[in-house]
Amino acid sequence: MLLFEIILVVLSLVTGLVWLMDRLLWRKARQPDAEGQVHEPVLVEYSRSLFPVIVIVLILRSFIAEPFRIPSSSMMPTVLIGDFILVSKFSYGLRLPVTYTEILDTGRPDRGDVVVFRYPPDPRQNYIKRVVGLPGDEVVYRNKVIYVNGEPVPQQADGRYVGSGSGRDMTGASVLLETLGSTPHEILQLDFRQRDEQRWVVPEGEYFVMGDNRDNSEDSRAWGFVPEGNLVGRAFVVWMSWDNGGVEFSRIGTVIR
């Protein structure tokens, strides 16, 4: 993703510079041919045509919404393998492409938000998880229940999961309705897997995140917190889903909560 951003920025600068130089200098110096026609150089023609398109794409993906593809099962059943999602880029502050410098504060994550972020151990990778702990929170994970500042996050049993396609391995997992913040969401748990009790205090300017597929997610329990500067945006909709060589039409338009 970073490479694509760099390419977009470079192309915007190059095509914009060529177009500007032509308007200011080169166009005036152009001479007509034998038939009296003035021909525009190919480089100028392509730059003039492509510059606005490239800039619009750069603005849309940098400040409005960016598409991502989900390659793993860590957020099942909320987001499935093969889902293509859109991420709101203006939810947690507008940032410049490539440098990720914040230029406008537009808000911060709420507990329960599904966020895309640059993976702290390797920022070249993008991860998607759910925000569990905000700066200053104490988070405890005990007997597969989250406790935030001493209060258990409500869970309600909701049957067994029936998976399909790449997610069929999770068939039989327990489905629970969990309420982080104001909106309930489904999580998966494997009854035969146990975890030792863990406790964390979230530092200022960082977030504690977990996958909804609780026993098949590498998240803050394993590698720590997500710095605010690593946030990419809030995932809000599935715009396409492709699994096992076919389109999953029932997934298109699914709102991510």
- Within this chain, do residues 143 and 228 fall inside the same structural domain, yes or no? yes
pTM of the model as a whole: 0.90
Active-site residue identified among 62, 74, 174, 217: 74
List phi, psi (to 5°) of 7. Answer: -60, -45
Residue 182 lies in a domain: yes
**Containing domain of residue 126, as a range?**
70-251
Partner residues linked to 139 by β-bridges: 148, 200
Task: Give me the half-sphere count of Cα atoms (radius 13 Å) on the Cβ side of residue 91.
Answer: 20
49 is annotated as an active-site residue: no
State whether 55 and 108 are in the same domain.
Answer: no
Q: Tell me whether residue 220 is one of the annotated catalytic residues.
A: no
Does residue 257 sit within a domain?
Answer: no
Is residue 123 one of the residues assigned to a domain? yes
Q: Based on the structure, what is the number of domains in the chain? A: 2
Give the CATH number for residue 199. 2.10.109.10
97-138 residue pLDDT tens: 998 999 999 999 999 999 999 999 999 999 999 999 999 999
CA distance 128 to 182: 20
Q: Could you read off the pLDDT of 27-86 as tens digits, one per residue? A: 888 877 767 677 888 999 999 999 999 999 999 999 999 999 999 999 999 999 999 999
- SS3 of residue 112 by DSSP: coil
Instruction: Select which of 129, 174, 217, 220 is catalytic.
Output: 129
Mark whether 185 and 84 lie in a shared domain.
Answer: yes
In a domain, 161, yes or no: yes
